[in-house]
Each structure stands twice: as C-alpha cells, then as structure tokens.
Amino acid sequence: MFGYYFKLALRSLRRNLVLTGLMVIAIGVGIGASMTMLTIYRAASGDPIPQKSAVLFVPQIDNFGPQPNAPPNQDFLPQDLTYMDAMALMRAHLGLRQAAMYATTQSITPPNAAQDPLEGYVRATYSDFFSMFDVPFEYGGPWGKAEDDTHASVVVLTRPFNDLLFDGMNSVGRMLTIGDKPYRVIGVLDDWHPSPRFYDLGQDSFTGTDQLFLPFTRAIDQQMSTSGNLNCDRAGPGSGWDGLLHSNCIWIHFWVELSTASGVSKYRTFLHDYAAAQRQSGRFNWPPHVALRDVVEWLTYNHVVPVAVGTLTSVSFAILFVCLINATGLMLAKFMARSGGVGVRRALGATRPAIFAQCLVEAGVIGLVGGLVGVGLTKIGLVSCRSVLPPDLSILTRLQGADVLIAVAVAIAVTLVAGLYPTWRATQVHPAAQLKTL
C-alpha cells in the first residue's frame, strides 16, 4: 500500500504547486538554518579519541597563584607545566603511560640535494605518546624507552611529510638532517588527524598538525626552543637555556593514561601533595590548587566549542520550529481543502486509518523534498560561514555524508510530526456532510 499512497501523494502535490512550494521552502529554510549550525557544532564538539578519552588526563598545577583581577568562582589554572614540574611527574610515573611534550619548529634539510631546506613542525615527546594516543604506523614504529633514556637521534615522520621528502616510499633507516644534526628515520605514521588536536590546544587546534616527532630528551639536549606559548611569572625565564629549564615558566604539555578510578584518585592526591610540598619548600606561597581533567573535560575547560556557535545553534533550531509551525498551517489548509475528496473515499469504504496513512505519506514526501532543498541551503550556509569564522575553525564547515543523511532524516521526521494534527483533522471528515455539498 505504501507505493499506492506514494503515487497519490505525488499527484496531490502536483495539483497545487504554489502551496506545495511554500511548504517545501518552509521546511527547507528551517533545515538549512539548523543543519548549518548543527554541522559546525558537531564537528567542533566531537570526541577526537572516543576509544580512550575517559582514561587520558591532563594534570594542572597552579604556578602563578591567585590572580588579583580574576572573576569570582572562576577556575583559572595554567594549561601547561614548567619543565621542573613535568620532569617531577615523569619521575613519579604513576600512570600506565605518560608523556611530556612541546612543539618546536626546526630547519629540515631534505635528503635530495635538489630540494631546498624547509621548516618543519616538530613534536618533542616521549615514546609513550604513540601507544597512549593509539597512533597508527604505515612503516616502522615508534622509538622505545631506551631511545628516551639515551637521548637518541631518531625521528618519526607523518605520512604527508614522508611523501614530501621521500616520495611516499618506506624511509625507515634513511637519514634526515634536522638543524645541523643527522637523525635516523625510525617510523612513518599512517593517516592520523585527531580533530581537534586535543593534546595541544594552542593555535590552529583544528587545522594545525605535526610533521615530525623526536625524543623529548634529545630536543632538550639540542636546546630546541618552543614554538608554542611561553608564560612566565615576574621572575622571567632566567638566563639562557638552563635558566629557562629551572624557571617558573610554563610551556610543557603533559598527558597521562590512568585506566582505573583508583588510579585517578591516587594521581589527584599526588598532585595535591606535590603542590603542598612546593609551598612548604617556599616555591609557592598559596594553598595547593591542582586539577586532573580527562579529554572531554579538557576540551570543555578550554572552550573548544565557541560560545557563539552554541548560541547560534539554539537560534537556528528556533527558526526550524517557526518554519514547522508555518508548514503545519499550510498542510492543514491543503488537507482540509480536500475534504470533499476525502468524504467520497470514506463513502466508498476507505477507513480512517487508510486516510491517515495516505496523508502521513504525503507529509513524508514533503519532508523528503524539503530535506533535499535544506541540504542545498546548508551547503550555501556553510560557505557563508567560512567568510566569518576564524581560519582555524573553517575546517568545521565541511559537509560530510553523515550530515546529509541527518538533514534528510530530520526533515522527514519533523515534517511527519508537524503533519500529525492536519492528518488527524483530515480523518475527522464525515462522509455524509461532505456528500451533501457535492
């Protein structure tokens, strides 16, 4: 019967193209507005590592003390650690895996002499980085603890950077010059682009990427300066590289994997006790203030989803609701205008459920066409958003296949809901009263 009702729906929609067009436009505009913002919101608020986000944590320690101009009830904690604190956490080794890290940029001399030197975005980290974040490899693998301990001159390349330097070939064992020192390629990553780049929410958290990875200990030996944020107290970074390492400047990211609730509790206690010990030693003169946040909490704390995006998403769904009210009124007018035809069908034996099903299928067809129009308007809306969003958020304006399916499904669902009352009213037609007017 569905096929029969579908044909009847198409005939009915063709009888009054103006009214049909108004309903389709109402649904399409509502879907276009809501799906434009929902697409951006979904991309920005998605879990970048859902399989492990509940067991990966960022420890935070208050290195600067209470801020005099801070609003009340605001939890202001530095996002990063000092080198001294990061090394203390590494030595404690209370997690299943852990890694201190920072970003730096270095001059890269390609193995092909015909290529000019270029600047590479380097991530200095520990070997646990790769297993902790489930980083896939195309060739080779990560370095191990032995390379961390010996400050080895090894490097892992990302797939795009390997394509650039070695034409995509297996480069494991090849040599590469970073700065003025030779490094041996030990592995090449497969495609890996967590969005947002949760382990470093500095600039370009959605579009930024690392190109090379090398041991943290080696980077410190070679005095590779950070290309990320460097925040210091009044004492400043001190004199020279050694002064920076022993200063109260924060610039080191730190992640730890804690697989049990008891492990999380023990780590929080350790952080509090560590901060208390720093106060007792005279380094801090304020009460211990620490935090331990998992991936989702970390993204929320850093406001990865802009407040404006959430507000506009709510407004767009309000627009959808208004459009549905209009579509409901138009469907009611259309269905009630066919009371005579419905009365004849009832007189010939059609049941109320049959009339209800026919009208509901017609509402579904309107929703389907409106959804397709909405997808087109969503694409236009996303293109418009690219011109007003910051560059690091423009990647969020890409319409994925799942978003198209969601748009069409939402359009059909909301139109069916909007059509329930007009459909019910159509089933209340009394055949005798309608036949008298024919």
For residue range 90-117, what is the model confidence (pLDDT) as tens digits?
A: 999 999 999 999 999 999 998 887 788 8
Characterize the bridge pairing of strands 81-82 and 118-125.
unpaired
Q: State how far the Cα of 377 lies from the Cα of 33, in Å rounded to an integer.
A: 8
DSSP 269: H
Helix (H) or strand (E) run with residue 438 in it: none
Q: Is residue 385 part of a domain?
A: yes
100 and 237, same domain (yes or no): yes
142 and 83, same domain (yes or no): yes
Name which of 102-116, 291-305, 333-347 the model is least confident about. Answer: 333-347
Q: In the predicted model, what is the mean pLDDT of the chain?
A: 84
Give me 230's structure tokens.
Answer: 């460097």
119 and 24, same domain (yes or no): no
CB neighbours (10 Å) of residue 263?
17
Q: What is the three-class DSSP state of 66?
A: coil
74 and 27, same domain (yes or no): no
Q: State how far the Cα of 240 lies from the Cα of 244, in Å rounded to an integer.
A: 6
Q: Is residue 295 part of a domain?
A: no
Q: Is residue 43 part of a domain?
A: yes
Give me 117's structure tokens.
Answer: 């030197």
Q: Is residue 277 part of a domain?
A: no
39 and 88, same domain (yes or no): no
Q: State how far the Cα of 31 lies from the Cα of 411, in Å rounded to an integer.
A: 6
Strongest mean pLDDT among 72-81, 105-114, 290-299: 290-299
Contact of 62 with 286, CB cutoff 8 Å: yes
40 and 143, same domain (yes or no): no
Among the residues of 387-428, which ranges form H helices?
401-418, 420-427
Q: State how far the Cα of 114 lies from the Cα of 101, in Å rounded to an integer.
A: 33
Number of domains forming the structure of the chain:
2
Q: Is residue 195 part of a domain?
A: yes
Q: Is residue 33 part of a domain?
A: yes
| Cα R_g (the chain), whole angstroms | 30
171 and 37, same domain (yes or no): no
For residue 430, what pLDDT band results from cuts at 50, 70 and 90? low
319 and 398, same domain (yes or no): yes
84 and 126, same domain (yes or no): yes
Beta bridge partners of 156: 187, 213
Amino acid at 116: D
* Full domain range(s) for residue 433: 2-47+306-437
> Number of C-alpha atoms within 13 angstroms, CB side, residue 34?
25
11 and 82, same domain (yes or no): no
Write out pLDDT tens, residues 354-379: 767 777 787 888 888 888 888 888 88
pTM of the model: 0.74
Tallying the residues shown for the chain, one arrives at 438
Give me 221's structure tokens.
Answer: 């030996």
Taking the chain, what is the end-to-end CA distance rounded to the nearest angstrom? 28
Q: Is residue 185 part of a domain?
A: yes
Q: State how far the Cα of 120 lies from the Cα of 122, in Å rounded to an integer.
A: 6
Average pLDDT of the residues in 12-41: 81
Q: Is residue 263 part of a domain?
A: no
233 and 359, same domain (yes or no): no
181 and 68, same domain (yes or no): yes
Residue 178: phi and psi, rounded to 5, are -115, 120
